[in-house]
Structure 1
């Protein structure tokens, strides 16, 4: 069937720009309960490689989360700072972004804000995952990471900063330092995370590393 397009009444007059709302400052989250692992895998397949909505599965619940601009800004700043540190210290750190991590046997899955490995990931999982909590709520991500066997998780929470969680004997324990990057001064890194200028923050962080 042909599509009929009516000509504009005044083709010489430009169309007004469509108004768009400002990006949300809080994460948008929906929890679907009573869902199966197959439902989760179908949703992942339907979404494909399109970015925007992150998915997690835990105990029959699927979380669909669209991160806010603030959330994305913080996670990107942390990533740039971590990578700058690895560059300055000549550490072979590889980043894998929001790589979908899942285990069909355990029926657990999620997509971290950022994740890293020293060299090539062993066993199909990163050594370090980073989660940003800009808006509270949602599934228990640490429980999912525990089931997946991710050895270290950083959680940056608004008003709190970064806390390090190390997997020991099947459970996470808070730690003062990273095990993957043991010489990293987390307090120093944290001092640059909420800078409004990411490039300036990275340059200042590099300078501080070179003089420390």
Structure 2
């Protein structure tokens, strides 16, 4: 498929259709790595612990993850962390829900079927559900649904259900770190599925996160610590989202506060340890929130030689304003020459 997927309105601005589709009827559901457990809907809502992936109201059966490992939670929490960094650059919040039920309801409002994704991402945060989860035909759908896959269960069953239920974008990540349950033919990598004309099509790049490629997303989710390249990509995605909505990092209270911190913290600590040393400490703290650790160490090997506190104050503004390490280095070259 070509990379220029036709744009549509953001999913968070599209209410689900009033008429919801039937879930595929099969004699036997197929969720590798899960065990069927008899459960009523009240049992599902009251369940604590175990990981329920799917529930069928017709048979009153839940499919619960067998091994109870933390693999799905790890990848989901990593995605939420990445979204936080993108949101800081955009200037407005992005909400991720790692424990939310996606529900297909009966005409009388009772839940008929339910799936639980590893993450549901809302680019324009609003109340996604009404306590019990996100119901088709009632609630706004997430912009991205994310699944970690070690056993091909997403491809074999969940993919078709997500498609039929109309979720606009699905990411499926097979982590670099394998598990005993992973089939030998299931290789690591991330796949983006975008809904077009009611059918999922594989896409090399996300529609919801402009220009973010499947390869780059997979790297960001699996590298031990965020690399310089990943940090730059997160900043780029956030800035592009902000540009389309008229927001900047200055619209985020935390980023706006960094400007004040660069001066206030430096001045306060400077009273006891010297103005210059206090500034450097404050700048390092701010830089560490935005850039990879390796780049910060490289940056301050040079800044430690700067004696002029006015120059350091200007450097502080650049650290806050620059969207990536390359831009910061270019701007610093002008200031420090």
TM-score normalised by the shorter chain: which range applies? 0.5 to 0.7
Q: Which residue of 1 aligns with 2:165?
A: 148
Q: TM-score, normalised by structure 1?
A: 0.67
How far 1:201 moved relative to its partner? Answer: 2.1
Is 1:163 aligned to 2:164, yes or no? Answer: no
Give 5+ residue unaligned stretches, structure 2. Answer: 1-31, 129-137, 176-186, 236-323, 327-337
Matched residue of 2:226: which SS? Answer: helix
Is 1:78 aligned to 2:60, yes or no? Answer: no
- Between the aligned partners of 1:178 and 1:91, the Cα distance in structure 2 is 19
Aligned residue pairs total 176
Moved more, 120-129 or 163-172: 120-129
More strand by share: 1
More helix by share: 2
Counterpart pick for 2:146 among 101, 122, 130: 130
- Equivalent pair of 1:84/1:202 in contact (CA under 8 Å): no
Give 5+ residue unaligned stretches, structure 1. Answer: 1-26
C-alpha spacing 1:30/1:42, structure 2 compared with 1 (3 Å): same
C-alpha spacing 1:204/1:179, structure 2 compared with 1 (3 Å): closer
C-alpha spacing 1:123/1:28, structure 2 compared with 1 (3 Å): same
Q: Which residue of 2 aligns with 1:41?
A: 41
How far 1:206 moved relative to its partner? Answer: 2.2
How far 1:79 moved relative to its partner? Answer: 2.5
- Equivalent pair of 1:166/1:172 in contact (CA under 8 Å): yes
- Equivalent pair of 2:192/2:214 in contact (CA under 8 Å): no
- Equivalent pair of 1:30/1:65 in contact (CA under 8 Å): yes
Structure with greater Cα Rg: 2
Q: Which residue of 2 aligns with 1:56?
A: 54
Q: TM-score, normalised by structure 2?
A: 0.45
- Between the aligned partners of 1:202 and 1:87, the Cα distance in structure 2 is 18
How far 1:202 moved relative to its partner? Answer: 7.3
Alignment of 1:170-185 (within 5 A): 170-185=198-213
How far 1:81 moved relative to its partner? Answer: 1.9
Deviations 1:102-137 (A, max 9, x none): 012393311110111121248343121100012344
Runs of 4 or more consecutive aligned structure 1 residues displaced over 4 Å after TM superposition: 58-61
Q: CA RMSD in A?
A: 3.1
- Equivalent pair of 2:173/2:218 in contact (CA under 8 Å): no
How far 1:44 moved relative to its partner? Answer: 1.0
